[in-house]
Amino acid sequence: MSVADRSRLPLVSRGVRLLLLALAGGLSYAVLSLPDQRVELSDQVSANMAASGVHNPVTAVLLNFRGYDTLLEMGVLLVALLGVWSLGTAVAHRRGGPGPVLSFLVEGLVPMMILMAGYLLWVGAAAPGGAFQAGSVLAAAGILLLLSSKRLPVRLVGRPLRLVLVLGLLAFVVVGVTLLSVNGIFLQYPPGLAGGLILFIEAAATLSIGVTLAALFLGGRPDSDT
C-alpha cells in the first residue's frame, strides 16, 4: 500500500474535497443550531426506573424499554457470522504452538477474563456493564485462546456450538413469547420478575456474544463443521 494509493484524478479529488467541506459546514451549522433544551425522554426514563427492574438507566433502556432493538441486534451478530461461515472454512492457523510469552499470558489472563466477564454481567444492573460488555471480554478471552492455537474439540463443533451461538436470541424469543401468551404484550416484564428475567436474558446473551465474536475472529467455518 503506497502513499500513491489514491485512484482518482486530481480534479475529481479537488471537487470531492470541496463538496465534503460544504457538507461538513452544513452539518456543523445544523448541530450548532440545535435548541438547547433538555430532552424529556431521559426524564421519562428516570421516572420509570423503579418499574424496570434494574438501577442502571442504560441497561434499563437496552434490555427493557428498547429490548426489541437488542433482540434484532443479536440477529445482526448471528447473520454476520452466518455470512462469514458461508464464505468458506477458517483460515489455517499458523504452524507451531504458541511461544512461551503467549502461553504464560493465556494461562494467567484467560481465567481472570472469564471472571471479569461474569462480574461485568452481574454489575450491569447497577453500574456500567451488562451483556455486551461482558460478552466482549469473553470474546477477547476466546481470541487469546484461538491465537494460542487452541480449538474446540471436534465433538463440540456442530450442534453444541450452534446452540450456544443462538442462545441469546432464543432466550429473548422464549421469554418474549411466554410473556406474550400470558398477558398479551410482547416482552412486557412483570414488575417483580423484571430484574430476574433481564439477568437471565443477559446471561444467555453474554455467552452468545462472546462465542460469536470469537468465532468471527476465526474468519470462516470451523474445519470440522458439516
Partner 1 sequence: MNSGLLYALTGVGLFTLGLNALIMHAHLLRKILAINVMGSGVFLVLVALGGRVPGASPDPVPHAMVITGIVVAVSATALALALMLRVRAATGKPRLPEERQE
Partner 2 sequence: MLAGLADTPWSVLVILWPLVGALACFLWPRHANPLGLLAALGSVACVATLAWQVVEQGAQRHAVGGWGAPLGIDLYADGLSLLMLVMTAMVGLGISIYSSGYFDRKTAAVFWPLWLFLWTALNALLLSADIFNLYVTLELLGLAAVALVALAGGANALTAAMRYLLVSLLGSLCYLLGVALLYHSFGSVDIAILAQRVEPLPSVWAATGLMSAGLLLKTALFPLHFWLPPAHASAPAPVSAMLSALVVMASFYILLRLWLEIFPLSGAALGQLLGLLGAAAVLWGGIQALRQTRLKLLIAYSTVAQLGYLFLAFPLGTSFAWKGALYLLLSHALAKAAMFMAAGNILRFGGHDRIADLDRVVQRLPLTLTAFSLAGISLMGLPPSGGFIGKWLLLDAALYSGQWWWALILITGGLLTAAYVFKVVGYAFTPAEVSHEARTVPARMEWTALLLALAAVLLGLFALWPLTLLDIGSPLAGGYAG
Dist CA 173 CA 72 (whole Å): 11
Dist CA 43 CA 18 (whole Å): 42
Q: Which of residues 89-108 bind partner 1 (CB under 8 A)?
A: 91
C-alpha distances in angstroms, 34 versus 25, 31, 37, 39, 137? 15, 6, 9, 12, 37
| Residue 27 near partner 2 by CB under 8 A | yes
Dist CA 132 CA 55 (whole Å): 17
**CB 47 to partner 1: min, Å:** 13
| Residue 3 near partner 1 by CB under 8 A | no
**CB 192 to partner 1: min, Å:** 23
| Residue 163 near partner 2 by CB under 8 A | yes
Region binding partner 1 by CB under 8 A among candidate stretches 63-71, 106-114, 151-159, 192-200: 63-71
| Residue 27 near partner 1 by CB under 8 A | yes
**CB 160 to partner 2: min, Å:** 11
Is 112 or 185 the residue whose CB approaches partner 2 more closely? 185
| Cβ atoms of 128 and 58 closer than 8 Å | yes
Residue span 140-179 as binding mask against partner 1, x where in contact by CB under 8 A, dash where not: ----------------------------------------
| Residue 206 near partner 1 by CB under 8 A | no
| Cβ atoms of 40 and 172 closer than 8 Å | no
Residue 123 interacting entry, from partner 2, partner 1, none, C-beta within 5 to 8 Å by type: none
Is 14 or 159 the residue whose CB approaches partner 2 more closely? 159
Which uninterrupted H or E stretch holds 18?
Answer: helix 10-32
Region binding partner 2 by CB under 8 A among candidate stretches 14-22, 120-128, 157-165, 206-214: 157-165
Q: Which residues contact 221 (CB under 8 A, 6 or more apart)?
A: 85, 88, 89, 90
Nearest 10 degrees: Cα torsion 159, 165, 170, 171: 120
| Residue 45 near partner 1 by CB under 8 A | yes
